[in-house]
Structure 1
Amino acid sequence: MMDDATTPTTIDNESLNNSSLEALQNEDMRQIMDMVDKMRRNGLGGVLQLPQLVVCGDQSSGKSSVLEAITEIPFPRKENLCTRFATEIILRREKTTSISTRIIPDKGRPSNEQAKLQDFKKSISGFEELPALIEEATKLMGLEGSTSSTPRAFSRDVLSIEISGPGRSQLTLVDLPGLIHSENKSQSKEDVELIRSLVGEYIENKRTIILAVVSAKNDYANQIILKSARDVDEKGNRTLGIITKPDFLEPASENELSWIELAQNKDIFFELGWHMLKNRSPKEIDTSFQTRNASESMFFSKGRYRDIKKEDLGIDSLRVKLSALLYSHLKKELPSLQQELELKYSETVLNLERLGESRQERKQQKRYLTQASIQFTRIAEAAVDGHYEHKFFGHSNVSEAIHHVSNLKRLRAIVQHLNMQFSRQMGKFGAKYKIAAPDSAETGLLEDEVLDVKLDDAYSSAEDQQTHMKRSHAIKWVQNVLQRSRGRELPGNFNPLLISELFWEQSEHWEGMARDHIHRVALACERFVKALVNDLVSPDVAGRLLKLKVDDVLAARLRAAEDELDKIITDKGRHPITYNHYYTTTIQKLRNKKSMAKAKKLADQHTTDYYCDVGEARFDSVSGPTRVSALDPEAFMKNFEQEFIEQDMDKFSAEDALDCEMAYYKDELKYFVGVITKQVIERYLVHNLGEDTLSPLLIGEMTDDEIHFIAAEPGAVSNERRFLEDRKKTLEMGQKAFRGALEFMK
């Protein structure tokens, strides 16, 4: 595990109760670290990015010795053995002393290998047992020295060592394998990439404090860790540089001076600065930590090292520095950590709600479907009534059209919009022939009743089916039909069946428009239902429930709506019937409008302009004679009879029939739009959508086999539920730890 060659060191119980780390925390900080430690022990390290100290550097940089100096925990050393995996050191304060270890397997391993490594949980009574335990873990990971047929040099697994005791402080540090410069016979290219990737994953964590260790034995410009740290922490906000092995430098040399300037933060700048340590030399390897510290103090009291600030030298000042550093870092990270914790918890609870309760037994399956159906009926009823308070409806998307897929949950709003579009479509484009009013090629038949509102593309496409026709051409059309439907009526009259034929032809597009509209509303209802079902039950249940039950109900409702439309179209094909006075009123208005147009034309023809003389009453003293218009009554009356009396009996009958047909068309149009929206759309597609589609009664009528087929829980869903339930408990424990720490900090 260490970079230097020596033999394991045995420590006494006094070391287990070591209080040398007390400088790292005040009481406030202990509470914060205790909270983070509890979250880590509860498994939140795999869910959240928790604050931690990571000791990293190039291979043989002395980083493991730095970790040992900080924690004063002796790690075993062997000749030419470097760190082969990440080692997580967890120190925590407990009433009793204990040392326990476990392996956190790489998530990329097969599940059976992960299970085997997770079973590794050992407890030891003293550090003298640590070498054997680490060797056992190394073999279990399949590294060199194991019985594996293909032993590996490095592993992405993590060895976690948890050390508890009354004198321990709350602290977590991670020792990472050293970065490798290039491959060799014992370390392949894949090993080089694996270590760089592993170190990168740790130091990319925005809540990690990077302890970047560089050795004075090598040119720091060539040490990979500095570039790696600056890549992920460009400003050095969370990187502390640590210089080791300064005793290998030639005193008073230029090389020594360059390292001293680095320690003074004059070369490579880190906002957290630099610190210099002197590790134990090979001759001092068996000495105690107290001797190590005394030797270090003596070394830094001489030569150029006296130019470096005392707080940037030695292990004791490093602990003080880490104390302030950890405290400020954790305080800064607490709000974002709490926010991330709450977000993860909300996501987990939502996913659990979607899965629902366990569905292993028939009783559980039926209860699950029944509860879903109750919720479905209630929410669907709210949607039909236009009450959007339930969280299912969310916020409306005003940037998209009402009928856009993002607004599909607000069913009543969509149906109302489509109905209004249909009504306007029928008013503007329902007639096969758009006939201009008398003596006007611009005024449409129903313009006085149709608002000039832009229609959706689906509804405005009906304009392509409509033919524009002048009134004179319309009269000719009616004359042609009249001649082919003439019975025994006297000249100047028309067969009553003529109105039927004219109306049937003029309204022949109604059925297609109505059918298209019904399908659009049915599609809106279908999308709403599927969205609601998918929101209330898990995806696997939703698919089977829709296919087995819901799709058939929706199809049946659509068929019923189309059957009703067929009946309405059949009724429309019968002889015209109306008892609405609006019909006769419209006829009179049309005739009056026609007469007024003729009268105006005749009046214009017999009106002359002239100027008043001075002696006449109408005289403008300023501008002179006034121009006035006057109707010649004799000429007007002389031509009145000729203008208003039609000699062509067929044309007279055709005009009269056209007026009657237009009046009846307008009357019937209002009725048709009303029965389609009420009698078809509302009755068969919208009303009772929840009760008919997925009511508790429908669930109660299902057989046990149907219920099992729909609601039985696959193994993958059971596993997902267990995973989410475990994560929820873990997050709740994290919330509890957070609340406890925040309460103390108040």
Structure 2
Amino acid sequence: MPLYEAHESNSDVDEVSVLPQLNTDAAKDAFAIKFDKLNLSETDVPSDSPPSSPINASHDCAEEPQSPKTALPEDPFESAASKVLFEAIDKLQSCNARRYMNNIPQLVIVGGQSVGKSSLLQSLTGIPFAVGSTLCTRFATRIVSRRSEPGSQTVIRISISPPEFAVPGIELADPEVYKRFDEIHGSITSDDFANIIDMVSETYLGIRPGSGNIHKNFAAEVLKIEISGPTRAYFSILDIPGVFENSERVKKSEASGVKNMVAEYMRQEDNIVICVADANTDLANQAICEIARDRATSDRLVGVFTKCDRVENTDAVVHTVVSAPKGGQFSKHGWFVVRNKKGLDDDVVDFDLVSEEDQLFSSKAWDEIPSSRKGTTALKKYLGHILSERIRSAFPSIIRQAQLLQRDAVRELTSLGSERKTVSEQRSFLATIARNYEAKATEALMQPWCITSPESRVRSIVKATNESFGAKMRAYGHTYCFDNNMESFDDMIRKLQNEMYPDESVDLTESIERPEVLMPADDEFSEVLSTEDLFDKIAEEVATFSSATLPGMVHPDIIPQLYRLQTQKWRQIAEEHVRNISDAITTATCHLIQSVCPRGNDASILNAEISEIISKMHRQTLSRTLEALHDYCDGNQSQLLQTADPTFLERLQKLQKVRLINAFNRGSVLFREATAARASSLQAACELFAQCHPSAAANTSNDVHDTLKVYYEVRFFFMIEL
């Protein structure tokens, strides 16, 4: 099945072919046109235009007879080569190629509401647009006309295409709904066309007129009307909704969306913009020209005055048309004047618009305007030549872009491997992906340096995260700072040894100094109370529990209560750490899956399914891990304080010895001073005792602090190594 439906064509050259359709949306979007069947290259794009540029020739203000060499032929797409170009561009537009290629020429007709765009389109295309109605202005409409073989029947095909770009403020329709609309007619009346527009609007594009939030007045999708017949000319034009100032009947966001749509179509460099203006209204008061001034260059602007049969004073219109080539916004392609078909004209038997225009513009009031600028026939001929010239100019670039897109599409198709029709082949393919993922995951864990993507080096990431967690716990994990000003027991022994045995002094610099861990401030955890606050809290608790104990005794519930207070941050910091680890592993997993099953091609669905399965496993693992962490932290806060660490008593005794030696040193100084002052031995001994045992409360506070500190360090080590 082709990537898009082939349109009926009787050209004597092969149609543009496409790659086979795959079974996923990603493959449908893969644009890979084979231009080799066109037998065209960048250097041999056919050229059958007249020697003298028809665009420039038509700008003469004076009426001059045109020679056969300079006159514009009736149909610029008459030759076989031109038909090939036209069909190729049409097929590109049919498969929404403008999403990928930004240089596909097209005619775009723009204007304000009620300026006669529908009537002009009817004259240009022969489609019975409802004149005076706004039905066709709620969404863009592309009309494609082509000539079929003599004697063939006229065929009208109507379908809906996706929007060429997103339009802020305009709600998108459901593609599953509007893609189902595809009708073919042999003929169509104005009533038939109005009914089709109503059905498309309501049923397929979801338009619900009104100004409330539940209403929708415009659509970004494109209604495509293709007409082929033996008397039809090759022609293509895109009509977009008209801009308007009064938005009382629509939502403000939609009014802005319509302006955005018009502006975006104008901004696209290969769009030829046909600005339709009401000849009865001052040009300066028509917003469409102001919008075009900022968004389209003069070489892409064509002006058309409509309703010329209703103009009372033709001087302003004639002056604008005649003076346009001399400079200004429309200096390149100038202005045209046309007569609109009115609703009353349908009642006239054998009404002929061409005759009516000839009669209107043959009057003296319009004499200054060249005949090449008068009437719908001249306008259509001119637009056809502009489109033909643009297509020829852009075609080499289009070929290059298509070849690049084809190369990328072929690469993506190749990356999918051979077809996998049977269950066995599909299982084998999945097993290969699983084995490749397992190998990558093992490498990320055991040999992270072999992984090119830094985000996939799980072992390195987890190690760095663990180190950060340990540093954060050391810096902010406690509520109060312990007394860390005391020398270590080993340093104290060295110092005493030097004093007692000066001849065998030991270098004190050999003691290991623990570097201070500097952590960035953390607003959530960085508040750590001082050592003085800790001793105040201990004294407070000792005083509270002293009513149930003998003086100088430590109540057994004091230390557990202080320990729970000191470790109350552990759960939150640890949970944050576990989630960081989980996020890092999830990110690494996504990169590993991408390396064995890329998202960029038809494996996107498989990639998403595998990612979801592994993500579900990660979520379950994270949930169980957090549950275990919460159980541990809750137990740490509620259970009895116990430890089987054989170094607990040893470390506690060393800490107590250091405190005793420090007190003894201070007491020794006072003892020597008292002895030198001829104080009694009893007084000197009392000074020494006072340093070692200042008070029962102080002794109790010191004992509680030392026990709490040693037990905290034991449990802290177990916590960060958990």
**What's the TM-score bracket when you normalise by the shorter of the two chains?**
0.3 to 0.5
TM-score, length basis structure 2: 0.47
More helix by share: 1
TM-score, length basis structure 1: 0.46
